[in-house]
Amino acid sequence: MRTRIHLWGKVLVLVGGVAVLGLHALEQAYGKPHDEVCTVANIAGAYGAYGSGTFLPGNFVGVPPGLFATVGRVELDGQGGFIVTSQTASFNGVIVRNITGQGTLTVNPDCTGQIAVGTDTADVVFVDNRNEFYATDTTAGLITTFVFKRITTDK
């Protein structure tokens, strides 16, 4: 009887240890829970960005169909706007440098929101205490995803 209890004690310690490691791995993968709600003010700053995807024929914004990849820098102004200060993109293998632009950004307290450049829109979610956000296009004919990582809280 004592051996059986001792064995179950070891099993419980092992299972508990694995659970703690699993929670730590989830925190490492997804970041700690947000300390506070998201606002346009507390997400302000400069972000490095990269993205890729496919433009389908007849897409809503009228860009040529094919593969797409990009890298650049974006500044969120803390008032619901943003500026693309420098971007390089590959449109089906054709490289375009020094792309700039501007748009709008809305953010909800739960750290979801939407970003828009003209008629092109994407849904976003802020993670890792607002140090990173992900976006996926919601414009017809654009299958793209983006990752933005905070460079600084200064604009």
Is 113 found in the same domain as 60? yes
Q: Within a domain: residue 38?
A: no
Same-domain check for residues 63 and 88? yes
Q: Please name the helix (run of DSSP H) or strand (run of DSSP E) that holds residue 75, with its range, or none.
A: strand 66-76
Q: Is the CB of residue 146 less than 8 Å from the CB of residue 60? A: no
What range defines the domain where residue 1 resides? 1-30
Domain membership flag for residue 63: yes
Asked whether residue 76 falls in the same domain as residue 49, the answer is: yes
Task: State whether 49 and 5 are in the same domain.
Answer: no
CATH number, residue 87: 2.40.128
Q: Which is higher by pLDDT, 89 or 11?
A: 89
Domain identity same for 68 and 112: yes
Q: Is residue 18 part of a domain?
A: yes
Q: Tell if the pTM clears 0.85, that is, is over it.
A: no
Sign of CA dihedral 40, 42, 43, 46: positive
- Give me the percent of the chain exceeding a pLDDT of 90: 72
Domain count, the chain: 2
Reported as a single tens digit per residue, the pLDDT across 63-85 is: 889 999 999 999 999 999 999 99
- Rounded Cα–Cα distance for residues 34 and 147 (Å): 18
> In the prediction, which pLDDT does 67 show?
98
Whether residues 5 and 80 fall in one domain: no
Does residue 37 fall inside a structural domain? no
Give the model's pLDDT for residue 112. 98
Single out the residue of 25, 28, 30, 22 nearest to residue 125, CA to CA: 30
Least confident of 32-36, 47-51, 133-137: 32-36
Query: What is the secondary structure of 103-142 as a DSSP string?
Result: EEEEE-TTSEEEEEETTEEEEEEEETTTTEEEEEE-STTE
